[in-house]
Amino acid sequence: MEKKEFIDRLKELTVNEDVFAVSRAINELRGQFEDFCIEQDRLKQVALLEAQERGETVDFTIEQDPLKEEFYTVFSEYKERRNKLSSEKKLEEESNLRKKKSLMERLKSLIESEENIGAAVETYKEIHESWKTVGDIPREKRQDIQSEYSKLLESFFFNLKIYRELKEHDLKRNFQLKKEIVTKIETLLANDVIRDLEAQIKLLQNEFDSLGPVPKEEWEGLKNTYWTGVKAVYQKITDFYDGKRQEQKQNLEQKQTLLVQVKECVSTVHEITDAKAWESVTEKLLTIQNEWKTIGQGPRKENEELWTALRAECDVFFAAKKAFYQVIKDKFEGVAKQKNNLIEKVVALKDSTDWKGTSEKIIRLQQEWKNLGSAGQKNEQKLWKDFRSACDAFFENKKQFFAKEDEVNANNLEAKKALITEIEAYLVGEDKQQVIADLKEFSHRFNAIGKVPFKEKDTVYQAFKNGLDSHYKKIKLEGAEKDKVMFQAHLDTLKSNPNASKLIEKERRDLEQMITKQQQDINQLENNLGFVSKSKAGDALRKDVEHKINVAKDRIKEYKTKIKLLTTNE
């Protein structure tokens, strides 16, 4: 504790309105402060002596300490206020003592000189009522004054012979009232509220003492019963405070144990790396705090020190936890920002009808979303709801579109099956041109029907192709006509294939490659002609080479015609 802390504590104590209640605590604090100052001065003197031994110039002048002066200024103000109140209280008690002595003198004079019984009784009542209204007197005088007053009362009642009947009545009445007070004192033992018990026993004792004498034959037994009850009550009060002190000691030990546990929790903050561990330690710490609250008070000073230490340890822990979650919060905010960007992208795509391309884009966005991780409990649920809503909107539209397309494809499948059945039942006639026209019409009709379900497309196409091929084989065509018709039929069949564009493109590449091959052959043959000799044998060889060149040229024309047909039929 530093000097400033002593001053702050002293100020807290001195503002208490009951200056006598804090007197002990303030005196203890002053002793601690003086010990602290002495120790500080000793350490300073030791340091100066050590410096002097090292040969350094040392100034042993004692400097004024403003904090020390402030402490004693506050203490002096309190002491002055306490002394003033103490003096006032002492003066009041002395005044009350003088009043009671004056009343006793009046009572004594009444006993010794008053002959008028009626007046004596009235004066006695006045004196006795005044006596009860007089406040406290000095403690050291109380028993003697009360004892002397009681004797005077006894003298008053016993010495006034003419007042015997009244005295007898009062004695019995006082006896009855005191018995009732003794009974009340005995019943106090059933009261477990010690503050009430202390206040009530004091009131009953004052009431018992303020009553007059009782019959002599009853006094000894009544007195013994009275003091037995009073001692029992005070013994209960003493036992309570002894038990309270023991209980406070045990409470203090339990709180010290809990403080050790809290320190162990706080010592792990540098090792905690995830939220789950933070929450686990937090739960343990809160459990300790709740257990702390269930433990009663310890000695006031030690209890406050322990509470201050506990609060300081908890502050360290929760400050570290706050810093940890601030980092997580910043991370979550960054993820939330990125996820908002993904939401904007998917919202922009949700009304697209490019089913394949958009599906791929949205799936990539979904993977990005997954890779980003959580945006925190505060943001994640709403962000996911918005993102999922936009994704679901697109896929629901896609689902409805393809549901309609599947229905159309199913109808197309039935139509193509019916057409295949019609093709298979077709009878080839003698008119070749009519048959070719009919077969082309079948191809046009087949192509016009449209797509069928994906898993049926190859089966349907193969059945269609087989049907047409079987009819084309039945037509007796020859030469170029046959090649042209068959190639056209081949093209028509390709166009009916689900992969028509790819197959036609492949057909084009194959024809171009064959043209290149034939051109290479022609170049080679023409080159060979330069080496053929002019002879009978050479003429025969020349004619054979020239024939091969012509055949190759015819094939090139044929391939070009087919490429032209491919271009025309695209």
Domain ranges of the chain: 1-138, 251-332, 499-570
Q: What is the pLDDT of residue 407?
A: 78
216 in Cβ contact with 175 (< 8 Å): no
Please tell me the predicted confidence (pLDDT) of residue 487.
64
* Mean pLDDT, rounded, of the chain: 80
pLDDT of res. 58: 59
pLDDT of residue 230: 92
Length of the chain, please? Answer: 570
What number is the average pLDDT over the span 5-9?
81
What is the percentage of the chain residues whose pLDDT exceeds 90? 5
Q: Mean pLDDT across the stretch 461-475?
A: 80
Q: What is the DSSP string of 139-196?
A: HHHHHHHHHHHHHHHHHHHHH-GGGHHHHHHHHHHHHHHHHHHHHHHHHGGG---HHH
Q: Which of 308, 296, 314 is nearest to 253 (CA)?
A: 296
Q: What is the pLDDT of residues 269-323, one digit of tens each?
A: 888 878 788 888 888 888 988 988 888 877 788 888 888 988 898 888 888 888 8
d(CA 288, CA 264): 12
Region 510-522: mean pLDDT is 86
Residue (of 281, 286, 248, 283) closest to 265 by Cα position: 281
pLDDT in tens, 207-240: 888 888 888 888 999 899 999 999 999 998 888 8
Q: Which residue has the tokens 């025969």?
A: 540
CB 358 within 8 A of CB 352: yes
* pLDDT at 190 > cutoff 80: yes
Task: Match 């009362």 to its residue by tokens.
Answer: 153
Q: Which pTM was predicted?
A: 0.34
The whole-angstrom separation of Cα 211 and Cα 59 is 73
pLDDT at 536 over 70: no
Q: How far apart are CA 152 and CA 144, in angstroms?
A: 12
- Backbone φ and ψ for 108, nearest 5 degrees, come out as -65, -45
pLDDT of 403: 72
Residue closest to 103 by CA, chosen among 70, 74, 76, 125: 125
> Do 277 and 302 form a contact (C-beta atoms < 8 A)?
no
Reported as a pLDDT band with limits 50, 70 and 90, residue 345 is confident
pLDDT higher than 60, residue 163: no
Measured between alpha carbons, how far is 252 from 306 in angstroms, rounded to an integer?
A: 8
* Cβ–Cβ under 8 Å, residues 14 and 22: yes
> Would you tell me how many other CB atoms lie within 10 Å of the CB of residue 349?
19
> Which of 15-29, 149-163, 222-236, 443-457 has the weakest average pLDDT?
149-163
| pLDDT score for 9 | 81
